[in-house]
Structure 1
C-alpha cells in the first residue's frame, strides 16, 4: 500500500498482480474502501488472469484524505483518478467499477478519454428511488448535522467518524474546511441526487455519454434490484454507442441477498462481484462476451 498527494489530499492506493500486466483500475461503490469485502477478491481474480489491478481509496473513503470540491462527489473522484493515473504513469488503463464506482468510472472516462482503453461497469444507480436514496445516504444527514451542530456535528456522524479513525489527519482537515464551506459543498453535491428526466445516472447529463468512444461492457442490474435498476442498465447501454449489455454472472437477487448477509454480519455487499472475473477478462482480451462467459462465472461461484 502506498500514498500520493493529489489535488491537495493524500490518496492511498496499491497494485495487485504482475508488474507487466495491463493496468485495470477497479473502483468500488458507496464510501467504501478498496479493502471492503468482495473488492480484493475480484482484484485477485483479475490478477490471476494477468492483469495489474490498481485499487485506490477515493477521497472520503477508507484511509485517503477527506476532500470537498467539484460539481459532485463523483466528479471530484473522477478528477482525482485522472490525476492519479497520470502521476503514477500507468495510463491508458482499463476502467472498471460497480455501483457508485460505476458512476465514478463513467465520469472518469468522459473527462479523461485519452486515459481509457476500455470501460466495464455494473450495478449502475439510476431512477427516482435509488437516486433519492443516495441523497439520504451521502448528503442530507450531513446537511442536518452541520446546520444544527457545526463541523463537530459532522465529525460525530458514523461515516465521517470512521474516516477519522482510519486516517486521523481527517479530523484536522474537516475542522479546517469548517461548517460554512462544508455546508456550501454539500448543498452543491445534493443537486446531483435530484432526479432529472435528462439524466440516466445521477448528476451526469445524457448528452455527455456521447464522449465515451471506447469499447464498453455493461452488466445489467438484477430483476428487482431497486438500488441498481435493470432499466438504468438499458438506458446507459442506449447512450453509449460502443457498448455491449450482458446479463449478470450472478443470481438475479444477488444484491438483495448480499445486503441481507451484510446486515447479518455474514458477508459483504460486494461479495458477488468476484463472479464477474471470467466475463471481465474475456472483455479485456477483446473476446466476444456472451452465454459461455456468463455460465463460467456462475460455475466458479
Structure 2
C-alpha cells in the first residue's frame, strides 16, 4: 500500500500497469475506495492494454486520511488528485471518472488544466433530484448530528454513504483527526459543501458554475446518461456536452438500464454498481489512443 501526503493528509494509492505506460487516473463515485468491487478490475483491464493506471482512496474514503476543506468535496478531491499527480511526477494524465468521480475529474480539469491531457466522464450527476439526493446522502445527516451530538455523534453515525467510524477502522488516526478538527469547523465545512448541492440555474452539475466548464480545453469524451437513470440523468450529459466545446457525446456502451440493474445485483449480493464499466474499456482505450489535438483547436474548426 503506497502513501503520499497531500495538503496535510495521507492519501493511499496504487499504480497498476507498466511503468512506461501512458498514465490514466480512475476516480469512482460515492465514498467508495479504490478496492470497492468493480473499480480494480476496471483499472486492471486498462492496464492490461499497456496503460499505467492510478487508483486512489480519495479523502474520506478507504484508508486515506479524513480531510475537510474546499468549496465542495469534489474541489477538495480535485486538489488532492493534483497533489498526487504532481508529487508522483505523472502528469499530464488522462482523467477518467464515473458518477461523483466524473464531477471530481471535471473540477480537476478546470482547476489544473496543465495536468490533464484528455478527459473521460460518465454517469454524471445533475439536476434537482440527483443533486438533492446527494445532499441527503453526504451532508444533511452530518449537519443534524454534529449540532446535536458533536464529534462523538459523527463517529456513531451510519448513513447510506457509509460511516465515519468505518474510516477510523481502516485508518485509526482518523479519529484524532476528526477530534482535532472539532465540531465547529466540521459543521462549517458541511454547510459549505451543502451549498454545492443546492440546485442552481447556472450549474449543470453540483457546485460547478457553467462558465467554468466552458473553459475546459482538452479532448473530452462524455457517455450519455441512461434513459431512466434518475441519479445520472440523460439531460445532464447533454448539458455538459453543450458546455465543453469540442467534446464528444457517445451512446452508452452498456444497456440503458445498466445502473438500475447493477444496483439490484449489488443489493442481491451478485455484483457491484461499477461492473458495467468493463463494457466501456474498448471505447475508452480507442479515445485515449487518438492523437491529441492542439490546444484551442476543436473538431469543428478548419484545419
Q: Which TM bucket (shorter chain)?
A: over 0.9
Deviations 1:228-273 (A, max 9, x none): 0000000000000120000111110010011111122221111111
Q: Distance in 2 between matches of 1:257 and 1:178?
A: 41
Inter-partner Cα distance in structure 2 for 1:251 and 1:104: 24
| Counterpart residue number, 1:176 | 180
Say which of 264, 270, 274 aligns to 2:268. 264
> Given the alignment of the two structures, is residue 69 of structure 1 paired with residue 69 of structure 2, yes or no?
yes
CA RMSD of aligned residues (A): 1.1
Residue of structure 1 equivalent to 2:36: 36
Q: Which residue of 2 aligns with 1:13?
A: 13
Runs of 4+ in 1 over 6 A off after TM superposition: none
Within the candidate set 214, 219, 226, 1:222 is matched to 226
- Separation in 2, partners of 1:36, 1:275: 18
User: What is the CA deviation profile of residues 79-131 of structure 1, one whole-angstrom value per residue up to 9, with x for unaligned ones?
Assistant: 11111110100101000000000000000000000000000000000011000
1:164 corresponds to 2:168: yes
Q: Deviations over 1:33-61 (max 9, x none)?
A: 01111111110111111100000110001
Residues 1:204 and 2:208 aligned together: yes
Q: Please identify which structure carries the higher helix content.
A: 1
User: CA shift at 1:67, angstroms?
Assistant: 0.2
The reply on whether 1:275 has 2:279 as its aligned counterpart is yes
Q: Deviations over 1:208-235 (max 9, x none)?
A: 0122100000011111000000000000
Q: How far apart are the structure 1 equivalents of 2:24 and 2:144? A: 38
Residue in structure 2 matched with residue 113 of structure 1 by the alignment: 113
What is the SS of the residue equivalent to 1:182?
A: helix
Report SS of the residue matched to 1:211: coil
Q: Any unmatched runs of 5+ in structure 1?
A: 289-301
For the pair 1:123 / 2:127, whether they are aligned, the reply is: no
3-state SS in 2 of match to 1:275: helix
Counterpart Cα distance in 2 of 1:212 and 1:172: 39
More deviation, 153-162/10-19: 153-162
Structure 2: where are the runs of 5+ without partners? 293-303
Q: Does 1:57 align with 2:57?
A: yes
The count of corresponding residues between Structure 1 and Structure 2 is 288
SS of the residue corresponding to residue 29 of structure 2 reads: coil
C-alpha distance in 1, partners of 2:110/2:149?
Answer: 38
The 2-side partners of 1:262 and 1:178 are apart by 35
Structure 1 equivalent of residue 92 of structure 2: 92
Shift of 1:274: 1.1
Give the Cα–Cα distance (whole angstroms) in 1 for the partners of residues 166 and 246 of structure 2.
40
Is it true that 1:253 corresponds to 2:249 in the alignment? no
